[in-house]
């Protein structure tokens, strides 16, 4: 009586007891979920086999690199210079010469037929222009830009080949003439950080990994609640003293653990098979992953509380998922999106997590550099889960 510590101690003890009881219930529910997953062959395959296989296969697919672009040469006035130019293209490793003609028509046909994706037209007078040196000699490139991304890349490659050719041609001409003094000369040195080999795996694999883990987590988790509702076992649980938080935690815990495990396996594959570097702290990656997965699962849960049937839950989850994935910077850069879309992307937990993964793994970023996205992930997780729990009601009406 009057001893405040005593009353507080009592309250603490009671809370601890209640939390302990809650935890036991959550663990019991989680255990049941795990048993169910393990026994359901189809789900197991989906959860384990498919993501791994897809990671291995698809990581190889993700690339914008173009090798051996097929070039059709239109050489209007063949000369040693033009032949040297074509030889440069052929020998560059980026291009493959598939045809040669003195006029444009066959080249056009080839482009339409998709036998070639680039036309290199060396106009009449190329040789003279080069010799005189009164301004640059011009050639024409027609690129099949049906695939805009590839087209840009092809253009960049062509520019490189031409620059090399030009340097070679000029050098052979400069010969003895000494460079006159006082000509401004800038020496451009270019360095690419983090991925000097320009390996697409480094960029794509973390992203693919995230998307696979997300798909698995969100879809399967969302579906599991809808399923219980449909079979009716949810009614039995609704009558028990199991609280909303306990029920949801019990549902999500196994999927969260599973997703984390998959992430770990995936990272191992990424590093060992695809040479994705691990330059930063793995603890940071997993910490962010923990938060991210709670958010992702929470979204799946939120969707399943709004859907009337399992089917609807799946469709809506799929829709949300695709939007999240395509707006996350996984396949195409966030920086390329219009301003308003970039703002929207701020609301996308996938975007933040992919960013953290790439920053920590590839750039070796530390906690300070990724503090902001991690904070966003934490906030997102909290909000989504609260919403989901609120919406999940044990009573109707």
Residues 131-170, interacting with other proteins (CB under 8 A): 133-153, 155-156, 158-159, 162-163, 165-167, 169-170
Residue 289 backbone dihedrals phi, psi, to 5 degrees: -60, -40
Segment lying near other proteins (by CB under 8 A), choices 174-182, 256-264, 291-299, 377-385 = 174-182
Concatenated DSSP letters of 254-270: HHHHHHHHHHHHHHHHH
In the complex with other proteins, which residue's Cβ is closer, 219 or 293?
219
**Binding residue count for other proteins, defined by CB under 8 A:** 150
* Smallest separation (angstroms) from other proteins to the CB of 46: 6
In the complex with other proteins, which residue's Cβ is closer, 216 or 259?
216
Q: In what order do the strands lie in the sheet with 69-75?
A: 95-101, 69-75, 118-122
Contacts of 174 (CB under 8 A, 6+ apart): none
Which one of residues 111, 293, 297, 350 is an interface residue with other proteins (CB under 8 A)? 111
> Hey, which residues between 24 and 43 contact other proteins (CB under 8 A)?
24-25, 27-29, 31-32, 35-36, 39-40, 42-43
Beta bridge partners of 119: 72, 142
> Hey, which residues between 43 and 72 contact other proteins (CB under 8 A)?
43, 46, 50, 54, 57-58, 60-69
Contact 107, 145 (CB under 8 A): no
* Smallest separation (angstroms) from other proteins to the CB of 103: 17
> Hey, which residues between 266 and 325 contact other proteins (CB under 8 A)?
308, 310-312, 314-316, 318-319, 322-323
Run of H or E including 170: helix 148-174
Closest among 247, 302, 303, 290 to 32, alpha carbons compared: 247
* Smallest separation (angstroms) from other proteins to the CB of 6: 27
CA distance 12 to 158: 72
> Hey, which residues between 324 and 353 contact other proteins (CB under 8 A)?
326-327, 331-333, 335-338, 341
Beta bridge partners of 97: 71
* Smallest separation (angstroms) from other proteins to the CB of 376: 13
Which one of residues 71, 209, 219, 270 is an interface residue with other proteins (CB under 8 A)? 219
Which one of residues 48, 90, 97, 199 is an interface residue with other proteins (CB under 8 A)? 199
Residue 73 backbone dihedrals phi, psi, to 5 degrees: -95, 130
CA distance 194 to 202: 9
Closest among 160, 169, 175 to 137, alpha carbons compared: 169
> Hey, which residues between 350 and 389 contact other proteins (CB under 8 A)?
355, 358-359, 362-366, 368-370
Contact 388, 221 (CB under 8 A): no
Burial of 271 (0-12, 13-18, 19+ CB in 10 A): middle
Segment lying near other proteins (by CB under 8 A), choices 175-183, 258-266, 289-297, 381-389 = 175-183
In the complex with other proteins, which residue's Cβ is closer, 13 or 50?
50
């Amino acid at each position: 009586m009057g001893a405040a510590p005593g009353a507080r101690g009592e309250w603490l003890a009671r809370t601890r007891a209640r939390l302990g009881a809650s935890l036991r219930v959550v663990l019991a529910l989680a255990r049941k979920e795990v048993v169910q997953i393990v026994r359901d062959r189809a789900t197991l395959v989906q959860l384990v086999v498919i993501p791994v296989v897809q990671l291995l296969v698809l990581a190889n697919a993700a690339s914008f690199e173009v090798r051996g672009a097929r070039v059709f040469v239109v050489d209007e006035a063949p000369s040693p210079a033009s032949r040297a130019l074509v030889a440069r293209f052929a020998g560059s490793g980026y291009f493959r010469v598939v045809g040669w003609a003195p006029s444009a028509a066959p080249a056009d046909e080839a482009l339409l037929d998709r036998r070639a994706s680039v036309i290199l037209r060396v106009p009449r007078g190329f040789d003279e222009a080069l010799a005189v040196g009164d301004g640059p000699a011009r050639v024409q490139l027609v690129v099949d830009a049906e695939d805009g991304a590839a087209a840009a890349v092809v253009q960049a490659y062509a520019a490189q080949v031409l620059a090399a050719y030009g340097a070679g041609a000029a050098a052979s001409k400069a010969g003895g003439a000494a460079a006159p003094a006082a000509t401004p000369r800038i020496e451009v040195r270019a360095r690419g950080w983090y991925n000097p080999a320009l390996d697409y795996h480094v960029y794509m694999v973390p992203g693919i990994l995230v998307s696979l883990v997300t798909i698995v987590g969100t879809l399967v988790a969302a579906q599991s609640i809808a399923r219980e509702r449909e079979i009716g076992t949810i009614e039995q649980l609704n009558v028990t003293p199991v609280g909303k938080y306990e029920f949801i935690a019990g549902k999500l815990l196994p999927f969260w653990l599973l997703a984390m495990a998959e992430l770990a396996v995936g990272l191992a594959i990424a590093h060992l098979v695809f040479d994705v570097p691990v330059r930063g702290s793995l603890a940071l990656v997993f910490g962010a992953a923990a938060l991210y997965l709670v958010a992702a699962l929470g979204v799946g849960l939120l969707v399943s509380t709004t859907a009337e049937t399992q089917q609807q839950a799946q469709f809506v989850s799929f829709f949300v998922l695709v939007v999240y994935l395509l707006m996350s910077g996984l396949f195409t850069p966030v920086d390329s999106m219009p301003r308003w879309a970039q703002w929207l992307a701020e609301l996308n937990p996938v975007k933040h997590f992919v960013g953290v993964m790439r920053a920590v793994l590839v750039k070796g970023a530390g906690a300070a550099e990724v503090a902001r996205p991690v904070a966003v992930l934490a906030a997102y997780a909290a909000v989504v889960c609260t919403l989901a729990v609120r919406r999940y009601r044990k009573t109707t009406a």
